Structures are given as structure tokens and as C-alpha cells.
Amino acid sequence: MYLDSDRRPTLTPQLAFRVALIGGVALVAFAVVFFRLWYLQVLSGDKYRAEANNNRVREIKVHAPRGEIVDRQGRPLVDNRTGLAVKVTPDRLPGDQGRRQQLYRRLGKVLGIAPARMNRAVERQLKTLPFSSATIKQDVPLPVVSYLLEHQDEFPGITVERVFLRQYPHHQTGAHLFGTVGEVTKEQLKDQRYRGVGLGDRVGQSGIEYQYDRFLRGRNGASRVQVDAMGNLKGELSVRQPQQGRQLRLSIDLDVQRVGQRALGGGTGRGAFVVMNVQNGEVVALGSQPSYDPNVFAKVIKASDYRRLSKPENGAPLSNRATQGLYPTGSTMKLITATAALEGGQITPDTVQFDGGSLRVGGVTFKNAGGAAHGALALRQALTVSSDVFFYRLGLEMNGAGNGLLLQSWAHRLGMGRRTGIDLPGELPGLIPSPHWRDRLYKKKLTDRPWTPGDNINLAVGQGDLQSNPLQLAVAYATIANGGKVLSPRIGMRIEDAGGRALQELQAPAARRLKLKPEFRQAILEGLRGAASAPGGTSAAVFKGFPIPVAGKTGTAEKGAGRADQSWYVALAPFPSPKYVVAVTDEAGGFGADTAAPMARTILAELFGVKNDEGSTGGGPSD
Amino acid sequence: MAAANPIGTTVKGFHEPRPHVLRLDPLLLLAALGLIACSLLVLGGATQDDIPGQPSFYVYRQAAYGAMGIVLMLLLSRLDYSRIREWKAGVYTLMIGTIVLVYGIGATARGSKRAIDIGFFNFQSSELGKLLLILALSAFMVDRMRRLGEAETTSRILLLALFPAMLVVAQPDLGSGLVYLAIATAVLFVAGTKWTHFAALGALAVGAVVLVLVAAPALGVDVLKPYQVDRLTAFLHPTDNPREQGYQVNQSLTAVGSGGKAGRGDQATQTRLNFLPEHHTDFIFSVVGEQFGFIGAALVLSLFALLIWRSLRILTMAKNLYGALIAGGVTAMLMFQIFVNVGMTIGIMPITGVPLPLLSYGGSSVLVTCMALGLLQSIHAQAREVAAAKGLNRDL
């Protein structure tokens, strides 16, 4: 062993062994490190190379502006403006909860948003789309943005981004057509319809924006940038320019639309109208009152705004009464009753019936409106003066004839009680009352009595349980006017590029064809023409002096329970080969001739370019 | 053998003066120079964007430290290390003194007080302490060689190392503390301490780890700072918390792995875009891996292997026990730091903040490592001198 002198003349075997042991440990350690390096660098090099690139490359989505929507003359109805959105980038937010709350408080003061709400909004957005930036407020005014940018170090993680927002230059005009645009939902992303749409993209959520979203949405651009560990931009790697969506040309005529809504607004303020080409189903105007300014939907709508716009007390401005209304139609139904009776062989155009002012059936007396008695008359005259008794009799007879569903089946064929298939989502089918329907309700104790002939009598003149809307009436009237084509109304006309060059004509589904005898059709049209022109015609006074020959039918639907009657008018013009149908209703307008018919005249004047039409007020209270 | 002359001895060389050449180990010197050159090359690429307008800030400074280190190494190699043994108490006191001094006037860097700002660089007393501990501990060991088998000797040596280790861990500098313990173990091991003592020490170490990492936190006593515990255990599950402790490990693995066979050169985005933290100090090996790939990493490891081999060889050559113990301590210091640091960058060791000898940027680390290598050269030179003298004597 060693001596105290610290002299160690030779290497002892024990030390040699221990040194060898240390060397062995080093050898093993080096081997482990080498194998680990081989595994990491040679075997997994590609995986880590990809990870490194993933680290440094960020793809920043550049939202594409949506296509514009223009009217039939190319005037913009919906276009885009750029807004500035304040966003928050989660990985640059302070990680500390307290400091983050402080940031939200500071930001809340500047933007006028409660910090708690801001926090909720950010958390919600990040839950659906982690690692992306979350929007705090869209469309922030420039001075506020400038303040944020000048004090950037006080607002870590807060960025400003340019976004495209929808703009509706005509405000209330046509609001119900366009619909809204909003961020795509998770459920929608699973739908084939939204192929190519990514999380965070904005798509049409209702109206035309929804219907033609496929064309209107553009192709997002992307810019691949290199960032450092702090997320600072270190140069752009590649850019793909965003591509704006296609332009959509509607068959809507802005002038007719505006005049129609203004005319409707002059009534009781709640109603709807439709102007449609009877030959091809192109909708020239379609409106509902009360209306709203869709610009509130351009950003995220406030909850209070939404409540205000859907409240029934305010007339639920968001609902589209032209396609979603569920109204009895009053005497405008008589065109359908007449068609059913003629085609069903109940009468001929010249079958004379006696109108003594009332009809008594099963202990109930059905009276003419205003108590008038029109005497002996055939179909034309009955339509012209709108004899209720004449049609009561038809209703009664059709309830007894065949399977008792003659009136219902013709109403259905003409498009009542079913969706018209217009290119606007949210349409309601309405209802044609039938024995089957009422008896079933009765069995379930949802109504007080089973079907009676009185129900059919009421249906024949558009009273009672019938539920329809101006669009369905327009389709039914157009079918008579065009000789049997049951059209699917169309609003979208064609897809164009930004310069207005046509890319694709939008085709309506083929119209259903009904076989209508020309002489029957002729008789009905003549009866309607008489109503708008002959002495005693229900709307003759309204159209006095109007240069375009009009055929039209008034309607006054009783709502019962002390509520004002609903006023209706459906016009076909020009007689005898109508080009357009105009259907108007005012929920509380009273007699058809009082309110709806003058509105129809105003609309027709605009439609046919009648200058300085003095209009006319009120006809006789004869239906 | 030439034909013997009539006297039977040769007088050749008797009058020749002893050759006054430095008996340095050329391979050890080569490894050191090579590693310093690698450090400068790697730092040049890794740090050119770190300080705006001064792309060579770190390279210039590291070059200066390297030059100073080599000068110190050569100076030390000319001294006879054996004389230091007499000053062992002073050396030990100096070590404790400088460590304690840091508490008084140290500069705080990233939450820990480890260094004293002396103008040119931040003097890290825990780095110098490694060298002083080797010198003092070896000397104490030599004094007690006669009572080597006693448990008291082993525990004394261990306590002498444990005291400064606790002081630096409290700075907090966990890595250096562990290096001190590695040095003590090596000195005991080379001196020939009984295996049973090592077995007992091993059991004690396991007990301590369990106490510090499991038992104490459960009782609410934090021996280590929470971040230290997190760093120590993060390598076991790096993906658990990718934004916090696992972040460094993940970024380091990505850097090393993305280097592939031949490296990414200027495209080393993990380093250049700062994804890799501490890329000029603790994680410099990851930079080697990313910039120069498997080939570069293998070259650097080969230089380290050369260093270890030469150190162990010098251990066996030493003219006296003191030299052997010093060589053992230096070898342990180098090995521990190399494997813990490299292991950390490739995800097989915990993150302890140990620099990679000669490669990591930093004056204290470079100078102390060079001085340690200087001591090895001194042991080598002395051994050669003695061997030459003996050869001369034998010839007489």
C-alpha cells in the first residue's frame, strides 16, 4: 500500500482496475450519447426538421372579400367595406392571470367593453380555435386603433387586423332578401356544402348570402411568414393573394323594391309584397314591413339589437312576411276556388247562380261583405263584384262532391300550403285546411269541433284556417296568367365576375305544369280585369285613370276577436297577356281596396314607368 | 545493445544537461485547442443576431477568455503542483471565502446570485471552487491515506465537499453543487476507498434524492426551488407541459434532430430565431447538433473523448498520489459536466445548468477548465521529469 511519503513508484493493480472502471464508465456514456445522437439526427432527422419548420413558419390567413350583390341593372345592393378589428394573439398574452386581467381592464376602458365579457369572448373563441387569434371587437374607429398602436407595449398580445365587413348602402331596402354573414359553425364545417371553408371563415348564414354562399365566398389568401421564438415577424416566405367571391346579380329591381317598401310603410306598417314575372318566375321585388337595417349584422350583432328586432311587439322586423307569413287570404282565394270549380266540372264559365245577399247552411248564415245582394250572376261578374254568396255555394258544393277535397287539391296544385321553392331559405309552407286535418285535431282535442261544410265555405273565400302568404298567391295567380306553369320564384339571376361579365346563368328548377282549359283561364282573367276596370268592380275606382290595363283581385281577411281585417290585393298586368304579378298585403289595412290595392297601383306605376301617377284612394267596401 | 565497454557502464549523457523542454502532453493540448476553436466557430454562427450591431460580441470575448486560458494553462504546467499540497488549508479557505463573497456583493442574473462583476467578466466563484476543491480535497486525502479504511476518513472528505456544495446550491447553482460531489466521489474512488463505503454512500444518495424531491415537498418544506425540481424532472416527460419546463428540452431535441447527418449551417432556424434558449451557454451542444449535424457532434464528442483518455492516462502516470488524486478529480469534473450537459441537450439527463467545458460561452468556466488542464499538464510534465531522472539514475 501507499506510504505516508506520498510516493507512488508504480501503478498498483488496484488503481489500474479503478482507472479502467472510470474509463469503462466513460466509454459506456459516450456510446449512449452516440446512439442517442444517431437516433435523433440520422433516424429521426426528417421529423425534427419538419418540427423546426413548423416552429418558425406561420401561415397567416388573408380573408377574401365576399362577392358583391347587385340588382338586375347592376346597382350594388350589398358590397364590402374594410374595418379594423382588434384581436388578441394568445401566445403573446401575459401568462399570469392577474396581469391578463389588468390588460383586459386597460383595454376595456379604451374599447368600452366590460373586461369579464372580453375574457369570456376570448376563451370561447380559443376553445373552438386554439392558437389562432381571437377577435375582441370588430370595426374599431381609427382614433382608437391609433391609440392602441402608439401604446403597444401597454397592450401585449393585442393586434389590429384589417377585415372585410358587409355593407348595405340602401339600409332598410331589401333587408329581408340578403340575409346575414357570420363565422362558420363547427356543425357547418362537417357539411359537404362548406368544403374548402376553414375555421374562422365567414359564410352566409341566412337569406341570399346563405343560398348562394358557394359563389359569394372567395378564396382566402395566405401569407407564409417566418417568426422567431417571440413571434416577431422575420420576413415573408410566400404569399397567395386572396380571391374575391363572385358577383351575384339578382332579378330584383332596386327602384321597384324601394317604392314597394315605401308604399307598404305608408300603411299600418306591417305587411309584405311580391312582384314577380309570371312567365319565368323572376322576382322583381320582395319586401316585408317593418324592415330593419342589415348593417347591424355586419359586425357581431348586439344581443339587445337582436331582441329588439325579433320582438313581436315591434312587429318582429327580422321575419320575412312575404315568405313566412301565415295569413288567411280573403277573397284573393276566389281565383283558386274558381279554377277548382271550373276544372272539377262543378260549373261552366256561364253557369248562373243567385246571390241573395246571404247563404244559410246548417243553421249558420254566411253573408256577403257589407250585406250587398248581387242577384243572378255568372263567374266573370262574381269575380268582378266579388260575390261571396256565389263562392259560398261553390265551396258548399265542392265539399259534397267526389271525395270532398276538390278545392283543397286544386289549391295544393296551384302552390298553396306548400313551399314555393324560392331561393330564399326559411320559407314556410302554410296550411290548406281539410277534413282530415281538422278531424285529427279534434281527435287530439285540439279543436272544439270536427270538419263541417262551413269550413269548406270559409276556405272558398279565403277565410278561417287558411294560412298562406303573398308569395304563394303570386305563384297561384302567375299560374293562371301563364297558362299552367307553377313557377319556383327566383331571386338569383346570374353569377358574374367583378366586371359584370356573366359566368353562369342561374336556372330555376323546371316549372310544374298544370293542364288548364284556355276558356276557363280566359273567363277568370276577364273577371279579374272587370274587378279592376268595370263599373261595380271592387278595385275599379283604385285603378281609375291608370294607363296600364290591370286585372286584380281584392281581399279582406277577417282576423276575428276585434282585430282589424287584413287587406290584400293581387294584380296581373298588363291585361290581357300579363307580364307581372303583384301581390300586396297589409296586416291591419282593412278592406283590400282601401289599403292594399292603392299600394299595388303605386308599385305597378313604378314597374311600368308610369310618370306622375296621381294614385287613387279607396274603392267601395264591396268584398 | 552496443558492446559493453570494459567498465561495464556507459557514461554517455552524464555530462549532458537535463533537456530543458516542456514535457507537455501534446494530445491533451490538441484536444483543448480544438475544443476552443470549435467553441469560437459555433458561437460565431449562433450569436451573430443576439446583440444588434455586434455580431461578434460573444466570439471576441470567448476568444479572449480562450487565449487567457491557454496562457494560464502553460504557466501552471511549468509549476510543480506538489507544492500546493502544503497550502491546503489556505486553498480550502479561499474557496469558501469566494463562494460566501458572492452572497455579499454578487450580481443577480436571472434570479440567482452566482457571480461577482469584476469588469472584464463576471467572476463565478462556484466555477473556481471546482478547481480549489480538487486541490484541497486531494491534499486532505493524501494526509489520511494511512487511515483509508476508516469510515471517518470517507465521511470527513465527503463533508469537506458537502459544505461548499450546499453553499453553491443555495445560490442557487444546483449544477456546480453536483459537480463538487462528483469530485469528492472521484477523489475517494481513486484513493482506494473501500467498496462498502461506496455502497453506503450510494444508499445515502438515493435517500437524499427521495427526501428532496418527494418527501420534503410533501411535508411542505422546499429544499430546492420549485423551478429546479421542475427542471430536474421535466426530461422524464417533456411533452406534459410544452410551454413551460418541457419547452427547453423540446426545443433542444428539435434543434439537434433537425441537424440531421450534416447539419443545417446557415439555415439553423432553431438557433437563429431564438427558439433554442441559452444557445451560447448551457445549450451550445444543441447548436453544434443543428448547425453541423451528426458529423459535427461526433467530432466534438471525439475531442472530449480524447480529453478524457489523456486525463486518465495522466492519472496513471502521476509521480505521486497527490497528482493521481488531482487528475482523478479533474477527470471526474470534466466527465460529469460533459455527460450531464450533452445528456441534457439530447433529452436523457435533467436540466441542471452545467456548462459544457471549453465550449459554453463564459470566462469563469473557460479559465477554470484551462487551469485544470494546466494542472494535468503539470502532473504529466512532472511525471516525465521524474521518469527521465530515474532513467538517468538507472543509467548511472
Provide the strand spans (E) within chain B: 107-109, 112-117, 122-124
The model's pTM is 0.66
Give a yes or no: residue A234 inside a domain. Answer: yes
Q: How many residues does chain A have?
A: 623
Does position B110 have pLDDT exceeding 80, yes or no? no
Residue A426 is given by DSSP the state: T
What ipTM was estimated for this complex?
Answer: 0.89
Confidence of residue A619 (pLDDT cuts 50, 70, 90): very low
Does position B238 have pLDDT exceeding 70, yes or no? no
Question: Rounded distance, CA A263 to CA A257, Å?
Answer: 10
Confidence of residue B2 (pLDDT cuts 50, 70, 90): very low
Helices and strands (DSSP H and E) totals, chain A: 21, 23
User: Which segment of A121-125, A229-233, B16-20 scores lowest on mean pLDDT?
Assistant: B16-20
Question: Rounded distance, CA B383 to CA B32, Å?
Answer: 20
Interface of A with B (CB under 8 A): 2, 4, 6-8, 11, 14-16, 18-19, 22-23, 25-26, 29-30, 32-34, 36-38, 40-42, 44-49, 51-53, 55-56, 95, 226-230, 234
Question: Rounded distance, CA A545 to CA A506, Å?
Answer: 39
Q: What percent of chain B has pLDDT over 70?
A: 86
Is B190–A227 a contact, with Cβ atoms under 8 angstroms apart?
no
What are the cell numbers at B55? Answer: 455580431
Regarding beta strands A283-289 and A271-277, do their DSSP bridges make them parallel or antiparallel, or are they unpaired? antiparallel
**Domain enclosing residue A214, as ranges:** 59-250
CB within 8 Å of B91: residues ≥ 6 apart: B84, B132, B135, B136, B139
- A271 and A294 in a single domain? The answer is yes
Packing angle between helix A406-413 and helix A388-400, nearest 10 degrees?
110
Average pLDDT over residues B71-86: 92
Average pLDDT over residues B67-85: 93
CB within 8 Å of A111: residues ≥ 6 apart: A86, A118, A136, A137, A140, A144
Instruction: Residue A287: count other Cβ atoms within 10 Å of its Cβ.
Output: 33
Question: Rounded distance, CA B377 to CA B375, Å?
Answer: 5
Is B309–A23 a contact, with Cβ atoms under 8 angstroms apart?
yes
**DSSP per-residue letters across A372-399:** ---EEE-HHHHHHHT-HHHHHHHHHHHH
What are the cell numbers at A62? Answer: 388573408
Which of A7-16, A67-76, A357-366, A395-404 has the highest average model confidence (pLDDT)?
A: A67-76
Regarding beta strands A181-183 and A221-227, do their DSSP bridges make them parallel or antiparallel, or are they unpaired? unpaired
User: Which segment of A232-236, B22-26, B161-165, B212-216 scores lowest on mean pLDDT?
Assistant: A232-236
- Tens digits of residue pLDDT in B330-383: 999 999 999 999 999 998 988 888 999 999 998 899 999 999 999 999 999 999
Shortest CB distance from B257 goes to which of A4, A30, A44? A44
Return the bridge partners of A282, or none: A490
Residue A623 near residue A592 (C-beta atoms within 8 A):
yes
- Restricting to B residues 236-295, those with a Cβ less than 8 Å away from any Cβ of A are 243, 251, 253-261, 264, 269-270, 273-275, 289-290, 293-294
Q: How far A152 CA lies from chain B's nearest CA (Å)?
A: 22
Burial of B202 (0-12, 13-18, 19+ CB in 10 A): exposed
Average pLDDT over residues B223-245: 64
Does position B114 have pLDDT exceeding 90, yes or no? no
Does position A250 have pLDDT exceeding 90, yes or no? yes
Average pLDDT over residues A262-289: 92
Question: Rounded distance, CA A570 to CA A524, Å?
Answer: 13
Selected residue with higher pLDDT from A82 and B327 = B327
**DSSP per-residue letters across B343-367:** HHHTTSS----PPPTTTSS-HHHHH
Is B312–A23 a contact, with Cβ atoms under 8 angstroms apart?
yes
CB within 8 Å of B35: residues ≥ 6 apart: B300, B303, B304, B307, B357, B358, B359
Which of A152-161, B126-135, B205-214 has the highest average model confidence (pLDDT)?
A: B126-135
Q: Of A255, A284, A216, nearest to A69 (Cα)?
A: A216
Instruction: Residue A396: count other Cβ atoms within 10 Å of its Cβ.
Output: 19
B319 contacts in A (CB within 8 Å)?
8
Indicate the average pLDDT of chain A.
86
Task: Count up the domains in chain A and report the number.
Answer: 2
pLDDT of residue B3: 45
Cα distances (angstroms) measured from residue B168 to each of A429, A573, B126, B206, B238: 83, 100, 6, 21, 27
Question: Rounded distance, CA A203 to CA A219, Å?
Answer: 12
Q: Which of A250, A270, A287 is the last residue of a domain?
A: A250
Q: Of A348, A266, A312, nearest to A594 (Cα)?
A: A266
The stretches of B144-244 forming alpha helices (DSSP H) are 151-169, 174-191, 195-210, 216-219, 226-234
- Tens digits of residue pLDDT in A509-555: 888 999 999 999 999 999 999 999 988 899 999 998 899 999 999 99
- A246 and A265 in a single domain? The answer is no
- A230 and A133 in a single domain? The answer is yes
A51 contacts in B (CB within 8 Å)?
254, 257-258
Question: Rounded distance, CA B39 to CA B65, Å?
Answer: 11
pLDDT of residue A1: 39
Does residue A339 come out as left (phi exceeding 0), alpha (psi in the -120 to 50 range) or beta?
Answer: alpha
Question: Rounded distance, CA B310 to CA B300, Å?
Answer: 16
Question: Rounded distance, CA A588 to CA A585, Å?
Answer: 9
- A332 and A235 in a single domain? The answer is no
Residue A454 near residue A364 (C-beta atoms within 8 A):
yes
Q: What percent of chain A has pLDDT over 70?
A: 94
- Residue in B273, B276, B339, B390 to test binding to A, most A beta-carbons within 10 Å: B273
Give a yes or no: residue A623 inside a domain. Answer: no
Is B320–A45 a contact, with Cβ atoms under 8 angstroms apart?
no
Query: Which phi and psi angles does B316 have, rounded to 5°?
Result: -75, -20
Confidence of residue A278 (pLDDT cuts 50, 70, 90): very high
Task: Count up the domains in chain B and report the number.
Answer: 1
pLDDT of residue B240: 53
Residue B284 near residue B270 (C-beta atoms within 8 A):
no
Selected residue with higher pLDDT from A8 and A462 = A462
pLDDT of residue A618: 44
- Tens digits of residue pLDDT in A358-404: 888 888 888 887 778 888 999 999 999 999 999 999 999 998 777 88
**DSSP per-residue letters across A69-85:** EE-TTS-EEEEEEEEEE
- A167 and A277 in a single domain? The answer is no
Residue A446 near residue A410 (C-beta atoms within 8 A):
no
Is A229–B192 a contact, with Cβ atoms under 8 angstroms apart?
no
- A165 and A304 in a single domain? The answer is no
Which of A195-209, A433-447, B255-269 has the highest average model confidence (pLDDT)?
A: A433-447
Shortest CB distance from B192 goes to which of A14, A37, A46? A14
A33 contacts in B (CB within 8 Å)?
301, 339, 342-343, 346
Instruction: Residue A232: count other Cβ atoms within 10 Å of its Cβ.
Output: 11
pLDDT of residue B239: 55
- A111 and A142 in a single domain? The answer is yes
Give a yes or no: residue A35 inside a domain. Answer: no
Is A226–B319 a contact, with Cβ atoms under 8 angstroms apart?
no
Give a yes or no: residue B350 inside a domain. Answer: yes
pLDDT of residue B313: 94
Q: Of A425, A66, A422, A488, nearest to A210 (Cα)?
A: A425
What are the cell numbers at B315? Answer: 492519472
Residue A287 near residue A264 (C-beta atoms within 8 A):
yes
- A463 and A506 in a single domain? The answer is yes
Q: How far B97 CA lies from chain A's nearest CA (Å)?
A: 28
- A237 and A265 in a single domain? The answer is no
Question: Rounded distance, CA B115 to CA B101, Å?
Answer: 9
Shortest CB distance from B273 goes to which of A16, A23, A56? A56
- Tens digits of residue pLDDT in A116-161: 888 887 877 777 655 567 788 878 888 888 888 888 778 887 888 7
Average pLDDT over residues A273-290: 94
Is the N-terminal amide bond of A574 cis, ω within 30° of 0? yes
Is B261–A42 a contact, with Cβ atoms under 8 angstroms apart?
yes
Give a yes or no: residue B349 inside a domain. Answer: yes
Confidence of residue A311 (pLDDT cuts 50, 70, 90): confident
pLDDT of residue B395: 47
Give a yes or no: residue B26 inside a domain. Answer: no
Burial of B192 (0-12, 13-18, 19+ CB in 10 A): middle
- Cell numbers 348595405 correspond to A168
B316 contacts in A (CB within 8 Å)?
11, 15-16, 19
A22 contacts in B (CB within 8 Å)?
186, 189, 312, 328, 331-332, 335
Give a yes or no: residue A18 inside a domain. Answer: no
3-class DSSP state of A592: coil
Question: Rounded distance, CA A412 to CA A340, Å?
Answer: 11
- Cell numbers 295567380 correspond to A477
Give a yes or no: residue A208 inside a domain. Answer: yes
Is A55–B269 a contact, with Cβ atoms under 8 angstroms apart?
yes
Is B260–A49 a contact, with Cβ atoms under 8 angstroms apart?
yes
Give a yes or no: residue A594 inside a domain. Answer: yes
**Cα Rg of chain A (Å, integer):** 36
Indicate the average pLDDT of chain B.
85
Provide the strand spans (E) within A109-201: 134-137, 158-167, 181-183
- Tens digits of residue pLDDT in A467-522: 999 999 999 999 999 999 999 999 999 999 888 889 999 988 888 999 999 999 99
pLDDT of residue B337: 96
| Total CB pairs under 8 A between chain A and B | 137
Residue A402 is given by DSSP the state: T
CB within 8 Å of B175: residues ≥ 6 apart: B340, B352, B353, B354, B355
Q: How far A49 CA lies from chain B's nearest CA (Å)?
A: 4
At B316, which helix (H) or strand (E)?
Answer: helix B284-317
Give a yes or no: residue A496 inside a domain. Answer: yes
B335 contacts in A (CB within 8 Å)?
22, 25-26, 29
Does position B15 have pLDDT exceeding 60, yes or no? no
Give a yes or no: residue B48 inside a domain. Answer: yes
Confidence of residue B1 (pLDDT cuts 50, 70, 90): very low
CB within 8 Å of B75: residues ≥ 6 apart: B374
Give a yes or no: residue B124 inside a domain. Answer: yes
Does position B13 have pLDDT exceeding 70, yes or no? no
**Domain enclosing residue B276, as ranges:** 42-193+225-395
Does position A600 have pLDDT exceeding 60, yes or no? yes
- A405 and A522 in a single domain? The answer is yes
Does position A412 have pLDDT exceeding 90, yes or no? yes
Question: Rounded distance, CA B140 to CA B188, Å?
Answer: 11
Give a yes or no: residue A516 inside a domain. Answer: yes
Residue A487 near residue A503 (C-beta atoms within 8 A):
no
- A169 and A295 in a single domain? The answer is no
